[in-house]
Amino acid sequence: MADPDGAPITPVLRGRLRVIGRVALLVALVTAVGGIGLRLYEQAAVRHWTEQQAIPTVSLATLHAVPAVREIVLPGTVRAFIDAPIYARVNGYLKSWNVDIGARVRAGEVLATIETPELDQQLLQAQADLATAQANEQLAQTTATRWARMLQSDSVSRQEADEKAGDHAAKQAIVVAAEANVARLRATASFKSIVAPFAGVVTARRTDIGALINAGASNGQELFRVADARKLRIYVDVPQSYSALLRRGGAARLRVPERPDEAVPATVTNSSQAINEASRTMLVQLEADNSRGLLLPGSYVEVRFALDDRGSPLRVPVSAVVFRQDGLRVAVLGRDNKVALRPITVGRDFGTELEVVGGITALDRVIDSPPDSLSDGDTVRLAVAPASGAPP
């Protein structure tokens, strides 16, 4: 064998060529294996980067604890403890009135007098009928006694004696009826004087001298109105969300616009124990001492309740709430950075925040603005807050 120049190839040269060929083959093999390995490494790196980019980055919401004792302000209406319209019980004309609006009266004090000519004549007629019935009853008694004696000597029959005794009994019943009629008319005549049913203040007078008076509330009009305002009733419509927090004996404070610096204490006494379907509120009654006369019946007041809510609710941003078909939920971040969707119970709505009364605690890490695709068990990455002074 010869080289290209025609010189024979020696065994040494042949060995060198063989070594060079093997080295070149090895280099080619190493190059091919390295390229494949580098490509696989790059694919794994791309896959890992893609998976990391697919993990959503979230931030935590700031929760605010609502104080256990809080105050709510609701509008209320003041009513006198006793407030009664006064109507006439007899027909006639108003003869005189003795009190005007604002007057303080005692129980039984005469407010006005009614002139009743027709009733007076009816009473006179009833007294005359009573006198006639009493005379007839006396005559029937005498006759019955006489016929009873005659019966003992068989001068008259028993039938005739029984008839006289029965006539006497009938005349007695007529006397009793006449006496009842006279008593009724006298009792009615006593209503000619209109009196105050209790001590209080005259808040209205709707009649005058000479006015025609019709008896009763259906045909006649209200003559006077008397109110006892030494003690007051206050009525408040409490929303359903607060109705369970109010208890009988609970304290409240009353304020009126004309006296903003003065507060009148009040106490919850009763409630309707039912929710109004139209307004979704419960009517609550309070009582207050008004011996100083700071409040007037019929006025508007602000009722301030101090509610003790032992549940210690939290205020959560609206952006942290997830709206799902099965209700409202929040995404809570666990220690392993996995998400748990928890149902919550919402109380009041503050616009940008919601009051959560159940479902989470102050120690839970609530995710703010969670993605719509977030589900239970998903892994997320928590965003690191920038250091003070660093750009976001």
In this structure, the answer to whether residues 115 and 151 fall within a common structural domain is yes
Residue 18 lies in a domain: no
Q: Is 388 helix (H, G, I), strand (E, B) or coil?
A: coil
Count how many Cα atoms sit within 13 Å of the Cα of residue 28 in the half-sphere of its side chain. Answer: 6
Beta bridge partners of 112: 97, 194
Euclidean distance between CA atoms 206 and 221, whole angstroms? 8
Do 114 and 192 contact (CB within 8 A), yes or no? yes
Closest listed residue to residue 134, CA positions, set 174, 96, 161: 174
Euclidean distance between CA atoms 211 and 94, whole angstroms? 5
Do 193 and 169 contact (CB within 8 A), yes or no? no
Q: What is the pLDDT of residue 4?
A: 52
Residue 219 lies in a domain: no
Q: What is the pLDDT of residue 227?
A: 95
Q: What is the pLDDT of residues 301-351, one digit of tens each?
A: 999 998 765 556 788 898 888 888 788 888 888 888 888 888 888 877 788
- Dump the DSSP string for 77-110: EEEEEEEEEE--SS-EEEEEE---TT-EE-TT-E
Do 91 and 221 contact (CB within 8 A), yes or no? no
In this structure, the answer to whether residues 167 and 61 fall within a common structural domain is no
Q: What is the pLDDT of residue 96?
A: 94
Beta bridge partners of 314: 65, 356
Residue 362 lies in a domain: yes
Q: Which of 205, 233, 263 is the last residue of a domain?
A: 205
CATH number of residue 142's parent domain = 1.10.287.470
Euclidean distance between CA atoms 358 and 30, whole angstroms? 66
In this structure, the answer to whether residues 132 and 94 fall within a common structural domain is yes
Closest listed residue to residue 198, CA positions, set 94, 80, 300: 80
Within 10 angstroms of residue 233's Cβ, the number of other Cβ atoms is: 20
**pLDDT digits (tens), the chain, 392 positions:** 445 555 555 666 667 777 777 777 777 777 777 777 777 777 666 665 555 555 777 788 888 776 655 678 999 999 999 999 999 999 999 999 999 999 999 999 999 999 999 999 999 999 999 999 999 999 989 988 888 888 888 777 888 888 888 988 999 999 999 999 999 999 999 999 999 999 999 999 999 999 999 988 777 789 999 999 999 999 999 999 888 888 889 899 999 988 888 889 999 999 999 999 999 999 999 999 998 888 999 999 999 998 765 556 788 898 888 888 788 888 888 888 888 888 888 877 788 888 887 888 888 888 888 887 777 877 877 876 444 333 43
In this structure, the answer to whether residues 62 and 146 fall within a common structural domain is no
| 207's tokens | 């009649």
In this structure, the answer to whether residues 184 and 153 fall within a common structural domain is yes
In this structure, the answer to whether residues 159 and 107 fall within a common structural domain is yes
Q: Which of 205, 229, 261 is the last residue of a domain?
A: 205
Do 81 and 287 contact (CB within 8 A), yes or no? yes
Q: Which of 188, 205, 222 is the last residue of a domain?
A: 205
In this structure, the answer to whether residues 96 and 165 fall within a common structural domain is yes
Residue 201 lies in a domain: yes
Strands 300-308 and 69-86, how do they pair?
A: antiparallel
- Residue 127 lies in domain: 88-205
Euclidean distance between CA atoms 74 and 56, whole angstroms? 45
Torsion of CA 73, 76, 82, 84, to 10 degrees: 180
User: In which residue are the tokens 């205020």 written?
Assistant: 315
Closest listed residue to residue 366, CA positions, set 296, 314, 325: 314
Q: What is the pLDDT of residue 331?
A: 86
Q: What is the DSSP letter of 385?
A: P
For residue 103, give the H/E element and its range: none
Q: What is the pLDDT of residue 281?
A: 94
Beta bridge partners of 254: 264, 303
Query: Which contacts of 151-157 are long-range, i.e. CB under 8 A and separated by 24 or more positions?
Result: none
In this structure, the answer to whether residues 115 and 62 fall within a common structural domain is no
Do 76 and 90 contact (CB within 8 A), yes or no? no
| 82's tokens | 């006793």
User: In which residue are the tokens 């605010």 written?
Assistant: 64
Give the total number of structural domains in the chain: 2
Q: How are strands ordered across the β-sheet holding 64-65? A: 64-65, 314-317, 353-358, 345-349
**Prediction pTM value:** 0.59
In this structure, the answer to whether residues 188 and 92 fall within a common structural domain is yes
Q: What is the pLDDT of residues 38-92, one digit of tens each?
A: 777 776 666 655 555 557 777 888 887 766 556 789 999 999 999 999 999 999 9
Residue 299 lies in a domain: no
CATH number of residue 321's parent domain = 2.40.420.20
Euclidean distance between CA atoms 270 and 57, whole angstroms? 54
Q: What is the DSSP letter of 67?
A: P
